[in-house]
Structure 1
Amino acid sequence: MTHPSPAPGHLPGTGTPAPPDAPSVPAAPSDAAAPAPSGTGRGAPAPTDRWGLLLGAGAFFLWGAMPLYFPLLEPAAPLEIIAHRVVWSLLFCLVLLAATRQLGGFVAALRSPRTLGTLAVAAVLIVTNWTVYVYGVLSGHVLDAALGYFINPLVTVLLAVAVLRERLRPAQWVAVGVGAAAVVVISTGAGGLPWIALVLAGSFGLYGLVKNRVGRTVEALPGLAVETAVLTPVALVYLGWLGATGAGTFGTEGVGHALLLASAGVVTALPLLLFSAAARRLPLSVVGLLQYLGPALQFLFGLLVFHEPMSPTRWAGFGLVWLALVVLSVDGLRTARATRLAARR
């Protein structure tokens, strides 16, 4: 087996990124383990389901449209936005868990020291990812955020080699090399490393490795609930401090602003639910290709809506990243097809 183990940052057979800013794939994300897509047995690919496509496209569209949402929360600063996102996500998740009778999974994860410890580490990684992402969007670096999620599968492959001691196929090494060249090209044109992109890709890649240790023992929604529960005490203390010092915006900028901050819980959990439903209906290869919709939309929003500059050097760097992803995806799809054919014999 030469392909990295399935994890929230990496779909088997495709080398594709996990859902931007809310990570989850059918094997372990930002939100614990989403159910694996169904198959037809004996290695045959699952039929493409129309509702599954709509659900999946909806999930990735919502993730891709995040750059349009977070500016609406200003004048709240990035840390205040993240604190509200954590608290309201937990509350919304608890309501959904009660409605779907999944509270047992949430409680079981809290009672398991090993699972709780693993999810606590995952929580630190995902809140780092969220914070840098929101900062990037609000500081005019949407294209860097998109770049981070484009290069995420390449970083995941590197982590699989460094941490899991995986052996890569030649095409995977080519993809990683081209991706590294892309970072060098972009850094040369920008006068420095694209740190936002690298932190987003690195934190999410590590998040995937950590969540892979939990595996399928914790479903997506309970996993997100546990992660936000771990973070909520810190978030509440920070929000309390903001309120005491008069630096907070919740309740001081009108009802509309308060409702927008509270909506962060829905914005975080809804795409995860759509993705989980889609993953049950679609083959992994289709889910993998759909996942490029998120960073692609972010790229378009950064370019066409926020009018961020794209120098020739930056275009060249992005072009190399896209070339690397094509190589990685084609190699993964060919390997998956060969595996299915071998399983039928």
Structure 2
Amino acid sequence: MTQRVAADKNSADLLATGYPSIFATHLLWGMLPLYFALTAPASAVEVVAARVLFSIVFCSLFLSVLKNGWKNLFALLRNNKVIFALTIASLLIGCNWLLYVLATTSGHTLDASLGYFMNPLVSVLLGVIFLGERLRFMQWTAVGIAASGVIGMSVLYGHVPWIGLGLATTFGLYGLVKSKVGKQATPLHSFAVESALLAPLAAACMAFLAFRGSMTLFSTGAAHFWILAASGIVTAVPLLLFADAASKLPLSVVGMVQYINPTIQFLIALFIFDERLAPMEWAGYIAVWFACILFTFDAVNSSRVTRRAEKIQDVAATGSLGIIDIDRADRSDHC
């Protein structure tokens, strides 16, 4: 009994520290369009290149103060299968970053928010295609409604949401590849390797921009330099917070709060960046939102059913143990 109380208290403590991490993660991710607006006049390519290079600086500092940080990183580098997977992951996240920065700095933040609303649905489809997973009826319904909204925008309004689809697909594939890595690499080590793999390409982009005279990192003042330098922290901190939250919270909670991020982006686009939607686009967004609600409801309901079944099994197991103990006591008395 004492052990169970201690376990329950430990679980409650984990939940208490996990909630601030997950909400901080999505708040920071949701506010990213405001940060990228500050990086002007840097181009999207320069912003992403700076993001990669300064992320390496941040990771290097963090690994230096972490116990066995560098040792574990070098051990990871000897695992060819993991490195191959992280190479693909780095290219996918690099494309995702570039598309996102292009969207948020060119008046398409609404399209970016649509992409992250669709991301869970795309991830589910990727699971079906590549992992052979089966969907419940409610999940298929949600995917169908979201697809109808996207097709409606494409056919009736004549506007294919390429940015949203691109963001959802690249991030969904990124998650799929990272799931193959599993627990073989911590989030920090994984992120450090991905940044290092992208570093030569980022450095080449910076060199090309400098050759053309269009690099702004060192030519637009100290404030601009430090804004771009902060991209390493802006990138890494939410990632580490998310990893902390994911290790402490139920998957259903992590899934539900992920919509905070695109919701904040959507509100920023409407009320700060003054972006507008046509009526048909509103209809498409509403279809996607309704699909997200169905998807989340199904996830929560499925999680409750699973937990209820586990509790019943625990009670049954406890009862069986009690019967066994009583039987043993009876027999000992007879002896």
TM-score of the superposed pair, with normalisation by structure 2 = 0.86
Q: Which runs of 4+ in 1 moved over 4 A?
A: 45-48
Q: In structure 2, what residue type is equivalent to 1:217?
A: Q
Q: Distance in 2 between matches of 1:311 and 1:128?
A: 28
| Alignment partner, residue 176 of structure 1 | 143
Instruction: State the number of aligned residues.
Output: 305
Matched, 1:294 2:223: no
Contact 1:81 1:261 in 2 (8 A): yes
Q: Distance in 2 between matches of 1:190 and 1:120?
A: 38
Contact 1:83 1:235 in 2 (8 A): yes
Q: Distance in 2 between matches of 1:63 and 1:269?
A: 11
Q: Distance in 1 between matches of 2:161 and 2:270?
A: 17
Matched, 1:91 2:60: no
Bigger CA drift: 46-55 or 156-165? 46-55
Matched, 1:56 2:22: yes
More helix by share: 2
TM-score of the superposed pair, with normalisation by structure 1 = 0.84
Q: Mapping of 1:47-196 within 5 angstroms? A: 49-101=15-67, 102-188=69-155, 190-196=157-163
SS of the counterpart of 2:178? Answer: helix
For each residue in 1:53-78, what CA deviation from the matched residue of structure 2 results, as whole angstroms up to 9, or x when unmatched?
A: 22221111000000000111111100
* Structure with max Cα Rg: 2
SS of the counterpart of 1:151? Answer: helix
Q: Percent identity?
A: 44
SS of the counterpart of 1:247? Answer: coil
Can you give the 5+ residue segments of structure 2 that lack an aligned partner in the other structure?
A: 1-6, 314-335
> How far did 1:298 drift?
0.4
Q: Mapping of 1:296-315 within 5 angstroms? A: 296-315=263-282
> How far did 1:189 drift?
5.3
Q: Distance in 1 between matches of 2:17 and 2:126?
A: 34
Contact 1:46 1:283 in 2 (8 A): no
For each residue in 1:25-78, what CA deviation from the matched residue of structure 2 results, as whole angstroms up to 9, or x when unmatched?
A: xxxxxxxxxxxxxxx68xxx8678344322221111000000000111111100
Matched, 1:233 2:203: no
Bigger CA drift: 293-302 or 309-318? 309-318
> How far did 1:159 drift?
1.1
Matched, 1:272 2:256: no
Q: Distance in 1 between matches of 2:193 and 2:114?
A: 29
| Alignment partner, residue 327 of structure 1 | 294
> How far did 1:287 drift?
2.1
Q: In structure 1, what residue type is equivalent to 2:23?
A: A
Bigger CA drift: 74-83 or 310-319? 310-319
Q: Give 1:223's match in structure 2, choosing from 167, 190, 197.
A: 190
For each residue in 1:237-293, what CA deviation from the matched residue of structure 2 results, as whole angstroms up to 9, or x when unmatched?
A: 221222233221111101111111111000001111222233343332222222111
Q: Mapping of 1:12-27 within 5 angstroms? A: none
Q: 1:146 to 1:95 in 2, by over 3 A?
A: same
| Alignment partner, residue 215 of structure 2 | 248
SS of the counterpart of 2:131? Answer: coil
Aligned Cα RMSD in Å?
A: 1.9
For each residue in 1:122-141, what CA deviation from the matched residue of structure 2 results, as whole angstroms up to 9, or x when unmatched?
A: 00000000000000011100
Q: 1:184 to 1:47 in 2, by over 3 A?
A: farther
Contact 1:48 1:283 in 2 (8 A): no
Can you give the 5+ residue segments of structure 1 that lack an aligned partner in the other structure?
A: 1-39
Q: Distance in 2 between matches of 1:257 and 1:69?
A: 12
Q: In structure 2, what residue type is equivalent to 1:67?
A: P
